[in-house]
Amino acid sequence: MVIRRLSYLLDREPDTGSVRLQPLQPLRSPEPPRSGGGGGGVVHGGAGSGAPDDLLAQVEQVITLTHRWTPHGVLSCSRLPDGGSVLCNGRADGEQPGERRQFIDVVHLPTGAAGFDQVWPIDTWRSRSWDDSGPAEGGGDLLPAPEGHLDLPLLVRFAQERGPRVAPFLADVRCLWADPAGRQIVIAEEDPETVVRWIALACASLPEQHARELTFVTRTDEPHEAPQQIVGIGPDASFDRADPLLVEHLYRVHDGLGGQGSPYVPDTWAELAAALWQAGTPPTPAAPGTAEAGDPFAPATLVRQLLRTGTASGDGLTTLHRDSLRAVVDTLAQAARDQTQGSPAIEELTRVCQELGKHCTESVTDPLALALVRRRLAAALDQDGALGQDPLVGLPLGEAARGSLRSEFGLDFDKGLVHRIRGPVATWAGPLHLALVLHGDQGPGVEDAVNKLVRVLLQPRGRECADAVTVLKTVGHQGLNRLVLARIAVETTGRRSRLLLELLRSPHGEWVRAHRDIAPPSVRLVEQAVWWGGSPHHLRGIDLFVKLAEPAPGAAVSPAADPPTLETLWGLVWGSDQPERPDFPRIVRICGAEAVLDAGLGTRFLAWLTSPGRFDQELVDFASAVHRRAELTKRERAIAQLLVLADDFARTSHAPGDVVDRVDELRRAASPLDVPLWDGVQYLLARGLAGLSPHDLYKSGALSFLATAEPALQRHYRAAVVAEFADDAKVNRMAAQPEAVADLFYVWRRELNRTSRDWPFVVDELLRHTVGVVVRRMNDEQRGAVATRLARRSNNLVRNWLRWTNGVGDGPDTRIPGSPAPHPPGQGRPEGGGHVPGQPPPPRPGELPTYPPEYPSGYSPSHPPR
């Protein structure tokens, strides 16, 4: 391929201003141009140049478009349709320095021309060899020689001085080779030499082939007509640098004259190249034949070069744009996965990852951290877990990355742990830690390790107990600590709590005390038992039980309500002994009857159930919980069922007929009954009977049961009913319901076939302290209503009522303070007390009173309907 060198004279018509381009004889001193042409045309020539006419036409078109609006001293490089290049240098006319004409020296560089691969076109700027004579064609050096005006030290200083502008400029240069290609770059500078340095910086940053393909013009006044990729302009150019259309859409403008320029479009390659310039090291393209050579703008080569400079760090990389930083991290991660010749050392990659972790989120650092940890873990598997350091320490792994590692390596490390823990306990820390982190605390390997650690810990005098504590402290895994403490709780329930006591009293017990806040309640109890049972407290028995069962600060429930904890607490306090009989109600009150049974301690309470010594609500609670248990004897079951039956009846007064029948049956099965126990049952039955309406009390047969009962039951019944009439408001409500008063009188004064000796006295006391109190509040009309209702049943009953009311005195047992006197003070009772004025007369002799209507279910004399 022939390199041709041509010369032209570019001039203007003085009158019309049209451009005239006159070819000169190759490499001869210029002769005065021939006049001719006009009207803006171009004068063609080239006789003797040997160049084809179509080439000459293309060259002259480039000159016309590029240099007709440029001052002298402008260098341009343009591409021709055939792929060749045209290098043009404008110089002033030495014979007529005042004229506007200039000489254009041209070098045509065909594709593949010899020598072109050794020269960047921009290097020929201001080269004196443009003026040298030489052969027209063939031999000799037709290329202008670079003279070192733009050496690398100069470009390094230039880039460092303009640091913030380098990356945006190189990003736009990079886009010139994108698909589709980026927009033309306009560089606005005061001095054309500054534009030349920007172009040289682009060439020095680009791969060799792209640097030689770059087209440019160092200065033009009409950039809109310039066909080159990079166009330099000055302050007087015909270009509005503040026009948004030009700056943001048509061109990429880099304004060194104080304007804003085009907005920055981040590019990874450009940012890395700029960082290298700032570090004083020009970017070096990938070597031919390497994997990176296929993509000349891939960041891998620049990343490795940055790391080799020793000035790059994770801290420095954080200045990159987020997308660029992610691309760099991906490149580093690939280098960590594929360690080839020239790749950064693993130590260097680790350092960068750690530094990045100080400033970046886990989503940025995870790819590199994952690649590094995978290498470590793979090595750990190869070495059977024998590592000098923890593979996960020091690298910023996020939860997503840890999840990936768990799914990839967790099962392998858990299986490896099963094999590893066959050795001495002192060697378990590393493999155990990796299995916990990568597979969690639910794997079979971790489970085996926990069981063996607990067995060793519960032998505090053994030689490996200290090693087990060291392993737990070294691993420092909260989940492992919880598992070990939970297993200790299982292994030290009941009487076996003595094993934990021995551990806590040894020097190794400090580990348990240090983790008491995450220990199960039973373990905390043992630790507290050591404290309160020792000096200076020396608590024993129920006092120690109560202290250990105190709820934790802020808690509402005793730890003894937890069955396993209660079992341990019992073993700590009493062991194989029994509490004193008065202590059982207190124990049930603290922990609950269900917890006692769930802890397997129910049989310890059966002696108290059958012979409590006194009646308590806790005895009923325990009977309710235990009465269906299979381990009870016939007598124990009867006692428990009797208590449950009486308690249910006391609360509901439901099915009194069935209850009284069942009581006799259970009492026979439970004999002999403890006196306080039977008295308590009668108290509960009395409360249930007191809640019955008069009708239900009579119809169910409960009245007969009550009338023939033991004095204790009748006494409790009387007390329960009388207590209901101690409230003044309730007495007033009862006084307003004469029918209810009449029914109470009728039932209690009813003649029964068989009663106890004390029943008439009980009835008299009931009437006096209940109905008697109400009658004192009733007016004549209300009393008359009572008599009228009784008269419907029997005249004899009315007479009994009248006699009884006349006999009700004004004593303190029937008179409520503040109640009105039945008659004016100082006067006797009014005559004719057998009939109440204003009420219907009693039935005539021979007439039967009507039977009163039934009362609704749930009616009670102590709770009359409102």
Could you tell me if residue 668 is inside a domain? no
Same domain, 731 and 858: yes
Per the structure, the complete domain to which residue 195 belongs is given by 150-265
Instruction: Please list, residue by residue across 122-138, b when 16 or more beta carbons sit within 10 angstroms of its beta carbon and e when fewer do.
Output: bbbbebeebeeeeebbe
Q: Directed axis angle between helix 429-439 and helix 478-491, to 10°?
A: 100
Classify residue 672 by its DSSP letter.
Answer: S
The pLDDT value given to residue 604: 92
pLDDT at 313 > cutoff 70: no
The count of structural domains within the chain is 4
Same domain, 213 and 168: yes
Whole-number Å distance between alpha carbons of 151 and 136:
30
Same domain, 233 and 276: no
Could you tell me if residue 261 is inside a domain? yes
Structure tokens at 829: 């009772």
pLDDT at 494 > cutoff 80: no
Q: Which helix (H) or strand (E) holds 733?
A: helix 728-735
Q: Which residues on adjacent β-strands are paired with residue 217?
A: 76, 231
CA distances from 305 to 152, 274, 292, 330 (A): 17, 12, 13, 16
Whole-number Å distance between alpha carbons of 664 and 73:
131
Whole-number Å distance between alpha carbons of 708 and 690:
16
Average pLDDT over residues 560-579: 85
The pLDDT value given to residue 843: 46
pLDDT tens for residues 757-769? 999 999 999 999 9
CB-based contact 816:774 (threshold 8 Å): no
The pLDDT value given to residue 117: 65
Same domain, 22 and 117: yes
Could you tell me if residue 578 is inside a domain? no
Structure tokens at 651: 């609360």
pLDDT at 22 > cutoff 70: yes
The pLDDT value given to residue 688: 94
Classify residue 860 by its DSSP letter.
Answer: B
Could you tell me if residue 680 is inside a domain? no
Say which range, 307-311, 481-485, 794-798, 810-814, has the weakest mean pLDDT: 810-814
Q: Report the SS3 class of residue 86.
A: strand
The pLDDT value given to residue 311: 56
Average pLDDT over residues 387-401: 72
Say which range, 219-233, 739-753, 823-837, has the weakest mean pLDDT: 823-837
Same domain, 245 and 279: no
pLDDT tens for residues 841-855? 544 443 433 333 333
Same domain, 292 and 345: yes
Say which range, 34-38, 116-120, 645-649, has the weakest mean pLDDT: 34-38
Average pLDDT over residues 72-82: 89
Same domain, 37 and 11: yes
pLDDT at 396 > cutoff 90: no
Could you tell me if residue 122 is inside a domain? yes
Which stretches of 145-304 are assigned E, i.e. beta strand?
A: 185-188, 216-217, 230-233, 252-255
The pLDDT value given to residue 581: 92
Rg, the chain, Cα only = 56
Whole-number Å distance between alpha carbons of 121 and 203:
9
Could you tell me if residue 585 is inside a domain? no
pLDDT at 308 > cutoff 80: no
Same domain, 125 and 251: no
The pLDDT value given to residue 49: 56
Q: Which helix (H) or strand (E) holds 430?
A: helix 429-439
The pLDDT value given to residue 190: 95
Average pLDDT over residues 574-583: 90
Same domain, 259 and 288: no
pLDDT tens for residues 377-393? 777 766 654 555 567 77
pLDDT at 72 > cutoff 60: yes
Strand order in the sheet with 19-24: 19-24, 4-12, 102-109, 85-92, 75-79, 216-217, 230-233, 185-188, 252-255
* Mean per-residue pLDDT of the chain: 81
Q: Is residue 514 packed enough to be buried (19+ CB in 10 Å), middle (13-18) or exposed (0-12)?
A: exposed
Of 235, 265, 295, the last residue of a domain is 265
Same domain, 209 and 288: no
Of 131, 160, 179, the last residue of a domain is 131
Could you tell me if residue 537 is inside a domain? no
pLDDT at 367 > cutoff 60: yes
What values do phi and psi take at 683, rounded to 5? -60, -45
Whole-number Å distance between alpha carbons of 280 and 424:
56
Which stretches of 696-850 are assigned E, i.e. beta strand?
A: none
The pLDDT value given to residue 401: 80
Confidence of residue 793 (pLDDT cuts 50, 70, 90): confident
Same domain, 123 and 158: no
The pLDDT value given to residue 184: 95
Could you tell me if residue 14 is inside a domain? yes
Instruction: Please list, residue by residue across 235-251, b when 16 or more beta carbons sit within 10 angstroms of its beta carbon and e when fewer do.
Output: eebebebeeeebbeeeb
Q: How far apart are the first and last CA of the chain?
A: 124
Same domain, 17 and 55: yes
CA distances from 279 to 143, 199, 352 (A): 33, 20, 17
CB-based contact 97:72 (threshold 8 Å): no
Whole-number Å distance between alpha carbons of 414 and 233:
69
Share of the chain above pLDDT 90, in %: 36
pLDDT at 79 > cutoff 80: yes
Structure tokens at 728: 């003044």
* Of the ranges 35-39, 224-228, 388-392, 552-556, the best mean pLDDT one: 224-228
- The helix/strand count (H/E) of the chain reads as 38, 9
The pLDDT value given to residue 426: 86
The pLDDT value given to residue 150: 83
Of 348, 374, 397, the last residue of a domain is 397
